[in-house]
Structure 1
Amino acid sequence: MKFSRRTTMAFAVVGALALGSTLGACSSDDSSSGDSGSTTLDPNTKVTLNVVGLLPGAKPEAQQALAQEVADFQKENPNITVKTHDYEWKATTFAADLAGGTLPTVFEIPFTDAKTLIANQQISDMQAYLTQLSYASNFNTNLLQYGQGPDSHVYAIPAKSIYAVGLHYNRALFTQAGLDPNKPPTTWEEVRTAAKAIAEKTGQAGFAQMAKDGTGGWQLTVDTYARGGRMEDGKKATLTNDATKASLQFLKDLRWTDNSMGANFGYDWSGINQAFAAGKIGMYTSGQDVYTSLVQTNNIDPKTYGLTMIPLSGGESGVLGGGTMAAVSSKANNNEKAAAIKWIDFHYLRKYTNQDAAKKNAETMVASKQPVGTPELPIFSQTQYQQYQDWIKSYVNVPLDQMTTFTGKVFGAKLVNEPAIATQDVYKALDTAVQAVLTDKDANIDQLLNDANAKAQRAIDAAG
C-alpha cells in the first residue's frame, strides 16, 4: 500500500507516500499563462514546479540532501524553479486533497490508485513526455501497466519504493529477551514465541500491527497472503477465507492470551515506524524499504535494526508487494508537464540507468548522512538493478548484513499484487475487524469478517 508507503505491482517478472500545507495554484508558467504547445520545454520558458518532498518531520540532514538535489537539478535546468512540499500519502485525506487542489503538481500515489485516477481524469497523460527519456522502453512492463489507461498511454510512472513486505525486528530487544538476533523467526508460531519473550523480558510490545486509515486492512492482507489466502476472486470479495480468519485469530491470541502486543492498538504507518525506531516494538510487518524512512524521520539506531522474510505457509502463500508512482496533476499545462518529466527523471529514475547519476546521488546522500543501499525491487530489469547496485557499492551505508534473511530469499518467493478492485475500500472494511480483535476480548471473528466482506463487495460492485 505504502503510504509513502504502500502499493501494488505485478511482481511475476520482478521475482523470476500528510500534506504539509495548502498550495493553492500548485504550479505556474512564469513567462506565460498559456502552453508552449510542445512536449519539449523551451529553455527560455520559466516554470515554477511544485513537487512532493520528504515526509513531515524529516530530519535536517534529509532536508539538506533534498535541497542539494534541487540545487543540482536547477543548475541543469536553470529555467525551472522547484519547490518541495512535505508529503505523506494517506487514504483518509488524499481524495479531498486532490479534489481541493492542494496537492503539488507532481505527487506520489500507490500503484493501486492509478487506474481510478486515470478513469476520473485527475492525472495527466504523460506518454508523449515519457517517451523522450532514453530508457522509456526499458521499464518492467508488468509494472508500467498499472499506470496505463485504456488507450495504453502512461499516466503514472513507477518511481520508487518498489517493495515486498518483510518482518522488521529490533535486534536489541531480541538480545535482551534472550533471543538470537541472527536467527529471526521463520514461522508464525516462532513469531508468537519471540513476541511473548520480548514482552515478558523487556516490557515492550513483542509484536505490533497497524490498525487504522486502511493500514489495518493492508497488513491483514499481508498476513492472509502469507497463509495462502486472497481477499478477492475476480469481482467477488473473499474476506471470509480461512487464512484471514487464522490471521485475526493470531492477533487475538497475541493480544489477549499472551499479552505481547503492548498497549497501543491504533497505529498507522508513521506511528508504528516512530514507535519501532524508539525501541517500543520488537517486530512488525511493512515494506522492506521502510528503513530509509526510519533513518530520515525516526532517527533509528542502525545497530538495532533487522529485516527478515515474513513467514510463509501453504502452497499458495506469497508476499504482498507494492510501490509508488509519480503522477502529474491533470490541471498542469504542457510546460509544467515538460518540466515535470525532467524532475521525475532526475529525482526518481536516472540513477538506475546512468552510472554518473547513480554515483552523484549516492555521494549527495552519504554527505548528508542519508541511507544508501536500502533493499529495493527493480523498476527496470533485475540485471539493470544489479548494475545499479554495483555502481553504488562503495557508498552503501545501510546494515545489509542484518537483512540477509530477507534479501537472500525474497526473489525466490511468490510476490502477489494487492486486491485489484476497490483496494482502499477493502482495506478500510478490514480495519474494523483488526481494531475489534485488538480491543475487544470477545470479538467474533466470523461476524466481523462477514460484515467486512459485505462492505467490500458493495465497494467492488460500485467500482464496476
Structure 2
Amino acid sequence: MKYSRTAAAFAIAGALALSSTLVACSSSDNDSGDSSSTTLDPKTKVTLNVVGLLPGAKPEAQQALAQEVTDFQNENPNITVKTHDYEWKATTFAADLAGGTLPTVFEIPFTDAKTLIANGQIADMQGYLNQLSYASNFNKNVLQYGQGQDGHTYAIPAKNVYAVGLHYNRDLFTQAGLDPNKPPTTWEEVRTAAKAIADKTGQAGFAQMSKDGTGGWQLTVDTYARGGRMLDGKKATLDNAQTKAALQYLKDLRWTDNAMGANFDYDWSGINQAFAAGKIGMYTSGQDIYTSLVQSNNINPKSYGLTMVPLTGGDSGVLGGGTLAALSSKASSNEKAAAVKWIDYHYLRKYTNEAAAKKAAEIQIASKQPVGTPELPIFSQQQYQQYQEWIKPLINVPLDQMSTFTSKVFDTKLVNEPAYATQDVYKALDTVVQAVLTDKNANIDQLLKDANVKAQRAIDAAG
C-alpha cells in the first residue's frame, strides 16, 4: 500500500474534493466513441483530466506542474490537460470510482489493481502501452502488479516504487546525545534511541501510524521485518508469532518506556506533518517520503535521515509497493490514447531519455523541488542508475544522509503486500494497533484472533 504516493506511495490521507463534473470534462471534445485504433489522430481534440499534486502543495511545485503541462501541450497541441489535486484514500476511493468523480488518469496503490481488474473497473491499456518504444523493458516484478490474468496491462507503473525505510530526525538525535550518522540497526537500538529522545527532548522518540489502513500497513512492515507473514496463500495468519512480537514491542515503547508521545491517532499525512515539525524522532514509511515532506510539510533538509528498517530472522524482508496509473473502464479509445501520451511524458520518459531526465530535473530545481529522492527501478536497476547519472549534477536531496538505506536496499529481500483483500487486512489490524497504544491492558492474542477472523471473512468474500 503506497500512500504518498508511498504510498504511497506508497499516497492515503485526505478525501478527494473533485466534483462530478469531471466525467463530462474528461470526454473527448470530438469523441465519436471507442474504436479499434490504439493511436490518437492528431486532429482529434481531447480534454484530459489528470491527477496533480497533493492538496496543500507549495506554489513552487504547482508552478513546476503547470510548466510541465504547458510543455506537454506544446508537444501535443490536440490534447488539453487539466490537473486536479489528489490523494488516494482507501475509505473513499471505491465510491469516487463508482460515482465517476475521479480524473481520467488516476493513481492507485499496487495492492488495489488486481481487484479493480477482476471487477472490470479499470481499462485494458495493453494495446496503448505497446505504442511506447520501451513497453517491453519494464521491470516484470513491478509490471505484474497492474496485469490481469489475461497477461494484459491494466494499470501502468508510474512512480514511487518503494521499500519501507526508517526515517529519523537528525536534530533530535543530536539533542538526545545520539550520533545522527550512526542510526539504529536493530529494534533494540531503535528502542534505546526512542527512549533517549523522549527523555531528553520531550518529543516522541518513535511514532506509529494507526488509522485509515495505515496502522495495519505499518504493522505488516514490522511483521515482515521479523520474518512473519500476514497471509499463507488465501489463509489469514495475522496472529503469527512475529506480529505478536511487533505489537509487544510497541506496547513496551508506549507503556514501559513512555517513548511514543501523546498522539496515537496518526494517519499518513498527520505523521508526516508531525515529523517535519520536529515532534517525532523516528517512524517507518516508504523511502520516497522525502519529496512529500519537502512539498507539503516544508521540512528542513538538514534534519532528515533515512536508514534501513531493522531486519531479524531468516525470512525477514522489507515491505515494498508503489503507485500505478489507471483509467476507468468507461474511458473512450481517444482518452486512453491521450492518457498513455501523458503517462509517458509525466511519469516515465525521464527514466528512458537523457534530455527528458535533465529537463524534468531542471524544472524541479527552478521551482525549488527535490531532485534525486531514492526510488526503486520501474525498469531495470541499470536503467535507474543511468537515470541517476543523467541528473547527478542537479541532485539536491541530502543523499549522504540516506546512505545507510541506499547502500543496502538493492541487496535486501523485498516482500509484497498481502495479495488478497489487502485493505481489509490492514483495516482489521488498525484496531489492534490502536488498542495496544491506548489500552495498557490490551490483550494482544485476543485482538489478533478477532482481527484474523475479520480478515479471513474479507478474503473469502473477495473470492
TM-score (norm 1): 0.97
Distance 1:433 1:241 in 2: 14
Distance 1:34 1:127 in 2: 19
Q: Which of 12, 15, 20 is the matching residue for 2:17? A: 20
Partner of 2:222: 223
Partner of 1:39: 38
CA contact (8 A) 1:168 1:283 kept: yes
Q: Provide Cα deviations, 1:237-275, integer angstroms capped at 9, x if missing partner.
A: 111111100100111111111111111101010110011
Q: Tell me which stretches of 4 or more aligned residues in structure 1 moved more than 6 Å.
A: none
RMSD: 1.2
Partner of 1:333: 332
Distance 1:152 1:355 in 2: 30
Partner of 2:305: 306
Distance 1:219 1:372 in 2: 27
Amino acid at match of 1:450: K
1:36 Cα offset (Å) = 5.4
Distance 2:405 2:438 in 1: 32
1:37 Cα offset (Å) = 4.5
- Counterparts of 1:194-213 in structure 2, within 5 Å, are 194-213=193-212
Segments of 5+ residues of structure 2 without an aligned counterpart are none
Distance 1:215 1:420 in 2: 16
Q: Provide Cα deviations, 1:375-395, integer angstroms capped at 9, x if missing partner.
A: 000000011111101000011
Partner of 1:400: 399
CA contact (8 A) 1:7 1:112 kept: no
Amino acid at match of 2:19: T
Distance 1:408 1:23 in 2: 46
Q: Secondary structure at the match of 2:90?
A: coil
Q: Secondary structure at the match of 1:297?
A: helix
Partner of 1:379: 378
Q: Which moved more, 1:358-367 or 1:19-28?
A: 19-28
CA contact (8 A) 2:22 2:102 kept: no
% same residue: 84
Partner of 1:129: 128
Distance 1:128 1:39 in 2: 6
Distance 2:31 2:251 in 1: 60
Segments of 5+ residues of structure 1 without an aligned counterpart are 10-16
**Alignment size in residue pairs:** 457
CA contact (8 A) 1:170 1:304 kept: yes
Q: Which moved more, 1:148-157 or 1:367-376?
A: 148-157
Q: Secondary structure at the match of 1:150?
A: coil
- Counterparts of 1:40-439 in structure 2, within 5 Å, are 40-439=39-438
1:21 Cα offset (Å) = 2.1
Distance 1:463 1:131 in 2: 31
TM-score (norm 2): 0.97
CA contact (8 A) 1:19 1:85 kept: no
CA contact (8 A) 2:48 2:104 kept: yes
Q: Provide Cα deviations, 1:85-139, integer angstroms capped at 9, x if missing partner.
A: 1111111111111111111110000111101101111111100000000000000
Amino acid at match of 1:21: L
CA contact (8 A) 2:225 2:311 kept: yes
